[in-house]
Chains A and B, each alone.
Chain A
Amino acid sequence: MGPGLAGYIIRRLLWAIPVLFLISITVFAMLRLAPGSPIDAILGQRYTEEQAAVLRDKYGYDDPLPVQYVKYIGNLAQGDLGVSTRHRDFTASEIIWPKIWISTQLGLIALVIVFGLGIPVGVYAAMARGTFIDPLTIAFWLAIEAIPTFVLVTLTSWFFALKLGVIDLGYEGVWTPNMTVPVLVMSLPGVAGVARFMRASVIGVLGEDYIRTARAKGLKEQTIVLTHITRNALLPMITVIGLSLPGITTGSLFVEVGFGIPGIANESLQAVLAPDYDVILALVLFGATLFVLANVAIDILYGFIDPRVRVGAGRGQ
């Protein structure tokens, strides 16, 4: 971790700025040029030109587009994400952060389950290759993955709430028993992907010379599997985990709509339909920023796990 790494991170982060600019300009223009506007949505059937003029003035839609954009960026630089026109009492920040937080917590729980289950399942299947256990395990998880989410939502709500009567479905907070089923629906279909990836990775590692060496040294099987096989096989998994991190903040649309969770996926859909200019823009920029950050973070993490890819190490390259 020398100055080289810091420089690298700074360079990568600086590159993010033009990317975000481009995204914001594109989305900003697309929203403003699309048919329909928040003013039409607000006034509805009782629209009159006088009222529209007052509202346009209030939201600054009268200015030429470039002026509006510059003002927007100016406010953004001060941390002001604008106002919501769908929830007219609230600012965009008041709307998106609590909802992103709800989705993120659920997403994190689901992520832990997906990898917590997927990685051991993958190792298990790989170690059992050649027997019927391997294809059976993978096939089972694939079968779950194959069920469309909305079917799973209906099936599980019916089963757990009505048939068993063990839980309620209404949202009462993330850390309540009611969220068990939504979290399972979010996570279980993802296990297959992780398991298969892990299985392939483990099988790849099994053929490596150092595994044979370890066995020849007479190491315990436990040490070989945990230290040598799993640790090395986990390396490519870092990218997968890293890339799925931004995803957890966006929530799962089917799950949120299906279970009535006031998360960000639900809100995004409504914002686009409204249209709610500032909320949409804030969400797009938030997503893009996370994506860029996740990519940088993955590159750095690689360095910790495998010294060969450590950037700016200056040795052994």
Chain B
Amino acid sequence: MSNKMLTLMMGFVAFLILAVGVVFLIALAGGGDDDDGSPADGGGENNRSSTSGKICDGKSLIVPGDDPSSVLDPIQVADVSTAEYVVEIFGGLVTLDPDLKVQPDIAKEWTSSNGGKTYTFKLRDNVVFHSGTAKRVTANDFKYSIERAADPANASPTVLAYLGNIVGLKDRFQNKASSVTGVKVIDETTVQIDLVEPSDFFLSELTYPVAYVVDKEQIEGNARNWTQKPRGTGPFQLKEFKPAEKIVLAKNDRYHLGVAKLDEVVFELAGGSILTRYENNEIHIGGFPATQLDSIKSGQNPLSDDYREVPEMAVFYFTLNPQKAPFDDPKVRQAFAMSFDRQNINTVLLYDAYRVADGFMPPETPGYSESIKSYSYDPVKAKQLLQESRYAGKLPRIVLTYSGSGSAAPDLLVAIQKGWSDNLGVEIELQAVDSSAFLREQRKGQFQMQSDGWAADYPDPEDFLGKLFASDSSLNYARYKNDEVDALLRQARIETDRTKRFDLYRQAEQKIIDDATVIPTFWPVTHTLVKSCVKNLPSAALVIPKYRYVEIKDD
């Protein structure tokens, strides 16, 4: 090794090794500190982030997002991940404000006549589609949009559920008619919609994307690809869409309800360590693992100041198939409902991540009533009920199916399984089924017992109770049928007096819970972190157009 050249080469390698070694040793040593969990260490990091203004300077909001699982076409949206974008890009006659109240959007006012069966909307005359064409939205655009939604060739998954009450819509959807007779263009700025039966929640239904207005010219000009650059009327327009990478929405300078204060909203879709990136001031809104919930909520964590709890208008529940043994006996169902301690599970296991569901509809739902009571934890009574049931001492094999992948079952299910085992002496098998297969089997009513969830699309009891428990609803996968409940729900559907209507739903809800075909367990909550320079971000329990209110301002 006497040669210069060789020495140089070896020296270079040795240097590289040394450099990498030093860096990693420091990293490891630092990592050791962190494992001690000294809060002071974390505090130092956060101070850096709250004083650093690197993302608090501009007018661009950067948030983690989900890949839309559908196309950006209002009539195809059936999921929250796609609705997030569609409600910002498109708009309809009416919209929801941050308090979830129905407000004018393209319609500036409306009247209801004919006993609540006819709605007449007067449109604004200054609403234009995106993309500089400045094409005005008229009554004809609404007629086109609703008829397009009802066109069976377009197979909208939601049109029947939300607009099925419009006269002639079902006929169009079943190809028995060539137009939707209930939607009439009175003049350029007046649309009249006739309903089959009076409805107090029709306006709420109109806030769902399927009722939004689309640009006929664009769709007919580019039937295959228009959703990659859709022209809507919403507060933002789609600027960039790279699947699984990012979606960029840019403000609509001509938005009729007030131009957004942000220039753009960047949704980052590729994932990564959200919390680290949040702490590093790369994104404005972040999340964190459940294990940190306790310390963040209690205010000990440096991130506590940024913590925000957003309730979701959704519910988790178990469905016990009343057509399969042993759940054809109500006593068995009640025994199951009483024998796991939701409060305890939530506190001990879930860091209080959820709210214990006292009823089916969460408190954010209009018409929510505190008087609804679900079965409380009562192991003694549960055991007694099981003894009295037809299946006392001879329970068949019971399988609880949930949507998920193979590995370990969620802690929550394991804890509830343990409750049934401890209190009833019943061993339940947990079965994970891949999500799409789960949905298929669910439709066929194959499961004996399953773990379910439902998220509202518009704020009304009808969207929970009518959709899931009316025996004629296509979404009643629980195969629930109770004549009294059916009568109440039918009556509620056409009642136009809101107080009376909510009272009917209240009665129906209590009966549904008493039947114990469904056991509501928890109302979910979204736990997020929001940088302090992000002002006026609405915390709505539903997907609503919200980014136009937001302003980035350091204080």
Contact = CB atoms under 8 A, between A and B. Distances in A.
State whether these chains interact: yes
A270 B244 CA distance: 10
Interface string B22-33: 001011101100
A47 B277 contact: no
B530 interface: no
A53 B6 CA distance: 71
A-B pairs with the 10 shortest C-beta distances? A260-B272, A36-B436, A54-B155, A40-B436, A36-B437, A262-B245, A35-B437, A260-B270, A87-B243, A222-B3
Interface of B: 1-3, 5-6, 9-10, 12-14, 16-17, 20-21, 24, 26-28, 30-31, 34, 45, 48, 67, 69-72, 76, 78-79, 152-158, 160-161, 173, 225, 227-228, 241-246, 268-273, 276-277, 279-280, 282-283, 405, 433-440, 443, 454, 474-475, 477
A86 B68 CA distance: 9
A261 B24 contact: no
B107 to A, nearest CB: 26
A53 B273 CA distance: 40
Given A140-B17, A163-B30, A258-B272, A170 B277 contact: yes
Q: Which of B1, B48, B78, B270: most chain A Cβ within 10 A?
A: B270
A137 to B, nearest CB: 7
A45 to B, nearest CB: 6
B170 to A, nearest CB: 11
B436 A46 contact: no
15 contacts: A36-B436, A37-B440, A44-B439, A54-B152, A89-B243, A124-B13, A144-B20, A158-B31, A159-B27, A168-B282, A169-B280, A170-B272, A171-B245, A171-B270, A275-B436
Contact of A168 (B2, B228, B280, B475): B280
Contacts of B34: 158
A183 to B, nearest CB: 13
A120 to B, nearest CB: 5
* Most interface-central of B2, B6, B72, B152 (chain A CB within 10 A): B6
A55 B71 CA distance: 13
The secondary-structure label for the interface of chain A is: helix
B439 A51 contact: no
Contacts of B17: 121, 137, 140
Interface in A22-72: 35-38, 40-48, 50-51, 53-55
A159 B433 CA distance: 39
Given A89-B71, A169-B272, A220-B3, A55 B437 contact: no
Interface of A: 35-38, 40-48, 50-51, 53-55, 84, 86-90, 94-95, 98-99, 117, 120-121, 124, 127, 137, 140, 144, 153-159, 161-163, 165, 168-171, 188, 220-222, 225, 256-262, 266-267, 270, 273, 275
Nearest to B27: A159
Contacts, number: 186
Nearest to B158: A46
A41 B474 contact: no
A171 B272 contact: yes
Given A99-B244, A165-B48, A222-B5, A86 B276 contact: no
A180 to B, nearest CB: 11
| Most A C-beta atoms less than 10 A away, residue of B2, B283, B405, B440 | B440
A51 B243 contact: no
A46 B161 contact: yes
A97 B215 CA distance: 31
B436 A41 contact: yes
A95 B79 CA distance: 21
Nearest to B5: A222
Contacts of B434: 35-36
Nearest to A168: B282
Nearest to B71: A88
A168 to B, nearest CB: 5
A270 B438 CA distance: 18
Contact of A140 (B2, B21, B78): B21
Given A162-B45, A221-B1, A48 B277 contact: no
B69 A117 contact: no
Contacts of A45: 78, 439, 454, 475, 477
A220 B153 CA distance: 81
Contacts of A47: 157, 439-440, 443
Given A35-B437, A140-B21, A266 B244 contact: yes
B433 A262 contact: no
Contacts of A88: 70-71, 76
Contacts of A171: 245, 268, 270, 272
